[in-house]
Amino acid sequence: MSGAPVSADLDRWAWLPAPLRPRAGEHPGSGRTRLIETTLLVLAGMLLALATINDVVRQTHTNQRLIADLRTWRSYTGHPYHNLSIEQELFGINSHREVVCGNTSPGGPKARVQLCLAIAGPPRGPLRTVQGGWYLPPRSEDFRADRYACFGPAARGMCGR
């Protein structure tokens, strides 16, 4: 049925020392191996579960920050725009300081002069603290060479011109 080797097949390996010979099925005494395997599996499962939950919590905190960032940009500029871009890694991936950019007048994404705000600190109510910012010309990405009119302590040294 399962194609299990018959004893003649196993006899071909009789020249091997007993601990190295193949077997047709698991030895009844392999319980210790299974116990060790199961213990390692449970430990690995616990590590994966811990890492997963940690990541969900981390991502949830990030989302909460992003929600506050978007609200902060809209509150600071007075524009209720939804097409905003957020950069999380400009000040370092663990800095928890984000840069939110959006148009200064109605238009397609990045079609107008953009205002970028460096936002940091814990959410105070629905908002976070603006620590500085800069402007970008229309249709440009947030590259140092394109930034101008930097303001605030967080934007010190960030402008290329």
Determine the length of the chain.
161
Contact 119/100 with Cβ under 8 angstroms?
Answer: yes
Contact 111/124 with Cβ under 8 angstroms?
Answer: no
Among 61-69, 116-124, 139-147, 151-159, the segment contacting another protein (CB under 8 A) = 61-69
Among 11, 31, 43, 59, binds another protein (CB under 8 A): 59
Among 43, 48, 111, 149, binds another protein (CB under 8 A): 48
What are the CA-CA distances from residue 93 to residues 21, 47, 87 (Å)? 53, 23, 10
Tokens 């599996």 sit at which residue?
Answer: 41
Among 35, 39, 43, 53, binds another protein (CB under 8 A): 53
- What number of CA atoms fall less than 13 Å from residue 75's CA on the CB side? 13
Asked if 124 interacts with another protein (CB under 8 A), we say: no
Among 27, 32, 106, 143, binds another protein (CB under 8 A): 27
Asked if 11 interacts with another protein (CB under 8 A), we say: no
- What token pair was written down for 130? 């603006």
- Comparison of 76 and 151: residue with beta carbon closer to another protein: 76
- Comparison of 55 and 141: residue with beta carbon closer to another protein: 55
Contact 130/108 with Cβ under 8 angstroms?
Answer: no
- What token pair was written down for 73? 């940009």
Asked if 63 interacts with another protein (CB under 8 A), we say: yes
Residues in the site for another protein, rule: CB under 8 A?
Answer: 1-5, 9, 12-13, 22-27, 30, 33, 37-38, 41, 45, 47-56, 58-61, 63-64, 66-67, 70, 82, 93-94
